[in-house]
Amino acid sequence: MAIRSFFLFILFFSSSLSPVFSLYEDQVGLMDWHQQYIGKVKQAVFSSQRAGRKRVVVSTEENVIASLDLRHGEIFWRHLLGADDVIDGIDIGLGKYVITLSSGGSILRSWNLPDGQMVWESSLQGPKLSKSFLLVPTNLKFDKDNVLVVFSNGRLHAISCIDGEVLWKKDFEAESFEVQQVIQPPGSDLIYVVGFAASYQFEMYQINAKNGELLKHESASFSSGFSGEVSLVSTETVVALDSTGSILLTISFQDGKISSQQTPISNLVEDSLGLAVIIPSSVSGIFAIKTDAVTVFIRVIGEGKLEVVEKTTHEIAVSDALSISEDQQAFALIQHASSEIHLTVKLAHDWDGNLLKESVKMDWQRGLVHKVFINNYIRTDRSYGFRVLIVMEDHSLLLLQQGEIVWSREDGLASIIDVTTSELPVERNGVSVAKVEHNLFEWLKGHMLKLKGTLMLASPEDMAAIQSMRLKSSEKSKMTRDHNGFRKLLIVLTRAGKLFALHTGDGRIVWSHLLRSLHKSEACQSPIGLNLYQWQVPHHHAMDENPSVLVVSRCGPSSDTPGVLSFVDTYTGKELSSLSLDHAVVQVIPLPYTDSTEQRLHLLINADKHAHLYPKTSEALSIFKREFLNIYWYSVEDQNGIIKGHALKCKCTGEVADEFCFDTRDLWSVVFPSESEKIVATVTRKLNEVVHTQAKVVADQDVMYKYISRNLLFVATVAPKGSGEIGSVTPEESWLVAYLIDTVTGRILHRVTHHGSQGPVHAVFSENWVVYHYFNLRAHRYEMSVIEIYDQSRADNKDVWKLVLGKHNLTSPISLFSRPEVITKSQSYFFTHSLKAIAVTSTAKGITSKQLLLGTIGDQVLALDKRFLDPRRTVNPTQAEKEEGIIPLTDSLPIIPQSYVTHALRVEGLRGIITVPAKLESTTLVFAHGVDLFFTQLAPSRTYDSLTEDFSYALLLITIVALVAAIFVTWRLSERKELQEKWR
């Protein structure tokens, strides 16, 4: 015991000597990796060919605008707009400005194409919400200045391309007018604004592009009404569907006269089934409609006559038109056929002739093609070549050229929903998954280089070679479990419903799997992946059983749609099975019990508060029955401000006898007064967190007993007035209340009010403490508070002899129904940054001290020692307290630049930080995800249990050899001397 405490002391010393954790420049990339993504591409614009390097500018659903290299798919530059700054349109103006329209059409920005610097920004206001359009006419000039035409918020603007100045504007204030298209026929000075009024009237406004003057306003009413979008088939003709979705309306407004033609779809397609929708496309003369089963391409032949040109049952995607010469337009069409996709490029007026027809092998794990963007180039023989950029169902982006995939980007990883980890396979003799041995010569060369480096003989080139060797050391990217537990698989679920396994060593994708259960189907219209859970983690049969994860998904956005479970093997990425449930999934509760095959028991709660047990085996049921009375669950209804506790009652009564379904009853409820409190944050301890000890040794060898409970819930509420943006309320009418609630009994263990404070609240709960971050309106600063909770009823266990002999009940199981006597200690500090995420390091045994990981507003991860958030800090700590490691109290928390975990990098759009313990107690693995991914290893108390990477093994070996030799030599000498002594 004494030795142990001594070691802890040493540990503390070594950590207190250098509390700053940082790394050297040449250590960057050794343990960490960083990947940049952009998200699912919404719109792509190819830069004109005059520009030096071929590039494509894209806008994505993650609100990123990026310029990508067309050769390799690398990012030239990238900007992440805010979460509420959704991009509506992008285009390239004057060949050198990227124009973006965002925030519902209210912000127009211009960026310099080569380097991505912002040139200007203008804010566009308008009378009412509407669709927004961005047009960049090539030949519309106004005083030598190119003009941008923007329709947004019910107002038409003409904006200078050079400086973003509004040249003229025109309001469309008519109450019911809904704009559908804004058209600028090339070569004319006219702008057409077409739309619907009162859903049955077609309106057309003709506007002079020079000054915004209204030239003509025509309207025509259609008794059948409209549904969905309109498709533009020529500059002066649009096609729309009537409200029944069965009649096509061809409306032309040539010369300001509206004329129309109605064609029932059944006239064109005999076996038309279900509701049709128009696929938006800008190809002149041709449009497509899609019903459930078929896609039909229809050509408009003058005077509103329609003709079917092709009918296909394949999944299809069409690009926008690309004008390749004065009067020729080309477009790309992609059709799926089993494991291939067929790309055809056609001219708009000539359906039957193909400019290009290619087949490309496509991994079915990428799903369907969602979007196609076409671009042309001139081949050496002066003919046109085409390349297409396609966006797949899994949000990946691919460039096809000459029948090959030139490059691909896995941009689905920009929208991660949930992360879990899995161990790698155990190393078996000869069955190493990745064989990464190189030959003897290279091995020798490497060691020679390293020796040169150690002896400081290496030239700069040698140093570079050594560095690159260190970076791609094969050890860290092996596909087997390592002794220290650094190598793991990160299993991530993306918004596209694709599951990826990333290797922690180098971040490469080990496998990816588009979940079949997340495919659209008859029963499941719009499946959404929700969460990942560790389903089976084999320890006893680690050699012959693979771990698996549970993916919980749901068939629609509302919470009462049925759920889908899929089980995926984490070694191979194969979907083991999937279950379509007949009930909804509102909550998933992983239980702390496993069956004999080490499958974890899960309780799924449906919308009617019935609990369903999974796996549905009799063994699981018997385990569950044993613990039946001790299982509770709670629900947080944040809309109503109620937290309810429930217990399981009996088997489900009703329709079908299902022995895995249980009724529940309400036990308790905490109702927050809706006029004064609104729930903004709830947080619990992580289920898999390991706590080493229940005692905390304070100064003078005193003991405090932590109140460690898995069933504690931290709830933060704010005044409803103060739930808006920071600064929207005065300090007097805003407050924040923090609660600690026991979720078994509903007992409120602690309640504290912060007057004059406001959300957003970010909180993290670990062991017996909770740290939360909020805004203090009085001080105009962010604040962080810590609450530590201690068990007072154990405090009198101080008799050493009883403890020595083990005559105490400190480790006997306790029931939460016995009233705990707790005391809390809390303290608050100012903090400079606002936060996006907060997490805490976790280690295998919970011995190592903790660090808070703060995702700052600058998209970086900052490590902050928990010792800074210790409620026992005082301004003048006593000697004993100093020895214990208590830092003198200061009003604000320090930000040490070296303790940025992400060092010089940024994790754009940071959303979450996940910590996973390694097997080595000192080390924790950190994964931060947003649009970018970042992974590193952290040792909050330094690596006290292993030698550092730069430890000189050679020196150690030499020393040992020298010592052994010295021992032998002296032994011989002493023997000889002894002999001589004896002869004397």
Partner 1 sequence: MEKGKGIMGSGRRWAVHFSDNSTAPSSRDIPDPPGFARASVDQDDSTVSRQKKDAESNWKSQKAWEVAQAPFKNLLMMGFMMWMAGNTVHLFSIGITFSALWQPISALQGVGKVFEPYKDNKVDLLGPKLLFIALNLGGLALGVWKLNTLGLLPTHASDWVSSLPPAQEVEYSGGGIPL
- State the residues that interact with partner 1 by CB under 8 A: 1-2, 4-6, 9, 530-531, 552, 554, 559, 585-592, 603, 605, 627, 630-638, 645-646, 682, 684, 687, 691-695, 697, 701-703, 705-706, 708-711, 743-744, 797-800, 803-804, 810-817
Size of the chain in residues: 984
Please tell me the distance from the alpha carbon of residue 24 to that of residue 87, in angstroms, as a whole number.
Answer: 39
Nearer to partner 1, 4 or 540 (CB): 4
Nearest distance, CB of residue 318 and partner 1, angstroms? 36
Q: What DSSP string describes 151-192? A: EETTEEEEEETTT--EEEEEE---TTEEEEEEE--TTSSEEE
Which 3 state secondary structure label does DSSP give 940?
Answer: coil
From 836, 834, 832, 735, select the one nearest 778 (Cα to Cα). Answer: 735
Nearest distance, CB of residue 769 and partner 1, angstroms? 14
Which 3 state secondary structure label does DSSP give 392?
Answer: strand
Show Cβ contacts of residue 125 under 8 Å, excluding neighbours closer than 6 positions: 106, 153, 155
From 243, 169, 240, select the one nearest 203 (Cα to Cα). Answer: 240
Show Cβ contacts of residue 844 under 8 Å, excluding neighbours closer than 6 positions: 485, 690, 917, 918, 919, 920, 921
The secondary structure element, H or E, covering residue 803 is: helix 800-805
Q: Which two tokens stand for residue 565?
A: 């479970």
Single-letter residue type at 869:
L
Nearest distance, CB of residue 773 and partner 1, angstroms? 19
Nearer to partner 1, 104 or 641 (CB): 641
Buried b / exposed e across 766-776, counting CB within 10 Å, b at 16+?
bbbbbbbbbbb
Nearer to partner 1, 347 or 703 (CB): 703
In contact, 497 and 515? CB cutoff 8 Å: yes
Across 424-558, where does the E strand assignment appear?
488-494, 498-503, 509-514, 528-536, 548-554
From 300, 295, 320, select the one nearest 254 (Cα to Cα). Answer: 300
Nearest distance, CB of residue 432 and partner 1, angstroms? 37
Nearest distance, CB of residue 705 and partner 1, angstroms? 8
Nearest distance, CB of residue 638 and partner 1, angstroms? 6
Nearest distance, CB of residue 5 and partner 1, angstroms? 7
Nearer to partner 1, 499 or 680 (CB): 680
Nearest distance, CB of residue 608 and partner 1, angstroms? 13
Nearer to partner 1, 300 or 844 (CB): 844
Nearer to partner 1, 464 or 804 (CB): 804
Question: Helices 440-454 and 460-471 sit at what angle, rounded to 10 degrees?
Answer: 120
Nearer to partner 1, 309 or 816 (CB): 816
Nearest distance, CB of residue 649 and partner 1, angstroms? 15
The greatest distance separating any two alpha carbons of the chain, rounded to the nearest whole angstrom, comes to 134
In contact, 496 and 395? CB cutoff 8 Å: yes
Q: State the distance between the two ends of the chain, measured CA to CA, in whole angstroms.
A: 53
The secondary structure element, H or E, covering residue 527 is: none
Nearer to partner 1, 603 or 737 (CB): 603
Rounded to the nearest angstrom, the gap between the alpha carbon of residue 742 and the centroid of all alpha carbons in its chain is 31
From 748, 719, 744, select the one nearest 731 (Cα to Cα). Answer: 719
Nearest distance, CB of residue 6 and partner 1, angstroms? 6
Nearer to partner 1, 508 or 626 (CB): 626
Nearest distance, CB of residue 534 and partner 1, angstroms? 14
Nearer to partner 1, 584 or 910 (CB): 584
Q: What is the DSSP letter of 246?
A: S
Helices (H), 357-475: 440-454, 460-471
Distances (CA, A) of 489 to 252, 543, 547, 687: 58, 17, 11, 19
Which 3 state secondary structure label does DSSP give 915?
Answer: strand
Nearest distance, CB of residue 631 and partner 1, angstroms? 6
Nearer to partner 1, 268 or 588 (CB): 588
Nearest distance, CB of residue 812 and partner 1, angstroms? 6
Nearer to partner 1, 2 or 440 (CB): 2
Nearer to partner 1, 179 or 416 (CB): 416
Nearest distance, CB of residue 601 and partner 1, angstroms? 11
Nearer to partner 1, 474 or 688 (CB): 688
Nearer to partner 1, 160 or 745 (CB): 745
Nearer to partner 1, 6 or 377 (CB): 6
Q: Which two tokens stand for residue 877?
A: 């700590």
Nearest distance, CB of residue 577 and partner 1, angstroms? 21
Q: Which two tokens stand for residue 890?
A: 């200061």
From 143, 171, 140, 142, select the one nearest 155 (Cα to Cα). Answer: 171
Nearest distance, CB of residue 606 and partner 1, angstroms? 11
Show Cβ contacts of residue 105 under 8 Å, excluding neighbours closer than 6 positions: 88, 124, 126, 130, 131, 132, 150, 151, 152, 153
Return the ∠ at Cα 455 (arms to 449 and 459), rounded to 5°: 55
Nearer to partner 1, 444 or 803 (CB): 803
Please tell me the distance from the alpha carbon of residue 333 to that of residue 357, in angstroms, as a whole number.
Answer: 10
Nearest distance, CB of residue 12 and partner 1, angstroms? 11
